[in-house]
Amino acid sequence: MTDGPTALIAEDEPLLAAALQTELARAWPELRVVASVGDGHSAVAQAMQLLPDVLFLDIQMPGQTGLEAAAELADAWPTTPDSKPFPALVFVTAFDHYAVQAFEAQALDYLLKPVQAARLQKTVSKVASALNQKAQTATTVGASGANLAPALQTTLDQLRALLAPTAAQPAAPRLSHIQVSVGGAIRMVPVTEVVYFEAADKYVRVLTQHHEYLIRTPLKELLPQLDTEAFWQIHRGTVVNVRCIDAVSRDEAGKLSLSLKGHADKLVVSRLYAALFKAM
């Protein structure tokens, strides 16, 4: 006899988390909730430790959203031949027309708050079926780890689409210069001089060929203002000037990294954005 499937709940409102766990016990008695956490960072840490079969992720959580937590997990999830498949994802959200449209377009399951028993039962049936299919058609990766299981690759594609700026968001004006503080002065750095941007706690590092600056504008606010043909996001916290990429290499574990022209730093490419370098 094998153990039943396991789940992790990430919800920052304790009453809603408890209600979801109660409803799950009724709708899916075989499911064991192995952890319930209240923020995205804890969700990632606990999921990597416990390797659950299903993740119920609240979209809006302190520190890190459910989507961001899912993306971090998809990047870090082990892909050795004996690894567990990546969990089934269920996002929990207050009603939002555009969010619902986005989840449906990407064929990702979602629950609306407050969770309704009938809707949860449909989700349970869908997720249980998906878990059975994964068990029957589990695809191992090659010894190099360069090839991802199709289910994980599909999840990466779905998450990348959900994290991209949507048509519903107003177009931001393109940045031509970055304002940075240098001593008591403000310097206007042309965007074309930037080699890459990197998130660092509450700041963003702005790296040029010869200087490094810190700005307080979050990377998620900078992104819509950058030309996506000239600047590629290669990691949740890194955006690189395409003209400054010298070479792309792959290590024995299948991870991609970039070498830069005239710059010693090497930049890691996450699984989420590895599709930018399809030739690899």
Residue 75 lies in a domain: yes
- Do 232 and 210 fall into the same domain? yes
pLDDT bucket at 279, cuts 50 / 70 / 90? low
Asked whether residue 161 carries a pLDDT value surpassing 70, the answer given is yes
User: Residue with structure tokens 């708050």?
Assistant: 113
Residue 145 lies in a domain: yes
Query: What average pLDDT does the segment 113-137 reach?
Result: 88
Furthest CA-CA distance within the chain: 70
Q: Which two tokens stand for residue 212?
A: 């490094």
| Domain residue limits at 205 | 177-277
pLDDT in tens, 34-71: 999 999 999 999 999 999 999 999 999 988 899 999 99
Asked whether residue 199 carries a pLDDT value surpassing 80, the answer given is yes
- Do 210 and 255 fall into the same domain? yes
- Do 115 and 35 fall into the same domain? yes
- Do 146 and 187 fall into the same domain? no
Asked whether residue 153 carries a pLDDT value surpassing 70, the answer given is yes
Residue-level pLDDT at 72: 94
Whole-number mean pLDDT of the chain?
88
pTM of the model: 0.83
Residue 262 belongs to a domain with what CATH number?
2.40.50.1020
Cβ count within 10 A of residue 111: 19
Of 128, 163, 198, which residue constitutes the final position of a domain?
163
Cβ count within 10 A of residue 253: 10
- Do 51 and 76 fall into the same domain? yes
Residue 265 lies in a domain: yes
- Do 142 and 181 fall into the same domain? no
Residue 73 lies in a domain: yes
Asked whether residue 17 carries a pLDDT value surpassing 80, the answer given is yes
pLDDT bucket at 3, cuts 50 / 70 / 90? confident
Residue 64 belongs to a domain with what CATH number?
3.40.50.2300
> Rounded to whole angstroms, how far apart are CA atoms 146 and 144?
5
Domains held by the chain: number: 2
pLDDT in tens, 220-234: 889 999 999 999 999
- Do 100 and 138 fall into the same domain? yes
Q: Which of 6-10, 15-19, 56-60, 140-144 has the lowest mean pLDDT?
A: 140-144
- Do 134 and 41 fall into the same domain? yes
- Do 156 and 55 fall into the same domain? yes
Residue 224 lies in a domain: yes
- Do 211 and 118 fall into the same domain? no
Residue 1 lies in a domain: no
- Do 70 and 122 fall into the same domain? yes
* Residue 60 near residue 257, CB atoms below 8 Å: no
pLDDT bucket at 82, cuts 50 / 70 / 90? confident
Residue 169 lies in a domain: no
- Do 90 and 226 fall into the same domain? no
Residue 168 lies in a domain: no
Task: Kindly give, in sequence order, each residue whose CB lies less than 8 Å from that of residue 269, ignoring residues fewer than 6 positions away.
Answer: 234, 235, 248, 255, 256, 257, 258, 276, 277
Category of 27 on φ-ψ map: left (φ > 0), alpha (ψ -120 to 50) or beta: alpha
3-state secondary structure the chain: CCCCCEEEEECCCHHHHHHHHHHHHHHCCCCEEEEEECCHHHHHHHHHHHCCCEEEEECCCCCCCHHHHHHHHHHHCCCCCCCCCCCEEEEEECCCHHHHHHHHHCCCEEEECCCCHHHHHHHHHHHHHHHHHHHHCCCCCCCCCCCCCHHHHHHHHHHHHHHCCCCCCCCCCCCCEEEEEECCEEEEEEHHHEEEEEEECCEEEEEECCCEEEECCCHHHHHHHCCCCCEEEEECCEEEEHHHEEEEEECCCCCEEEEECCEEEEEEECHHHHHHHCCC
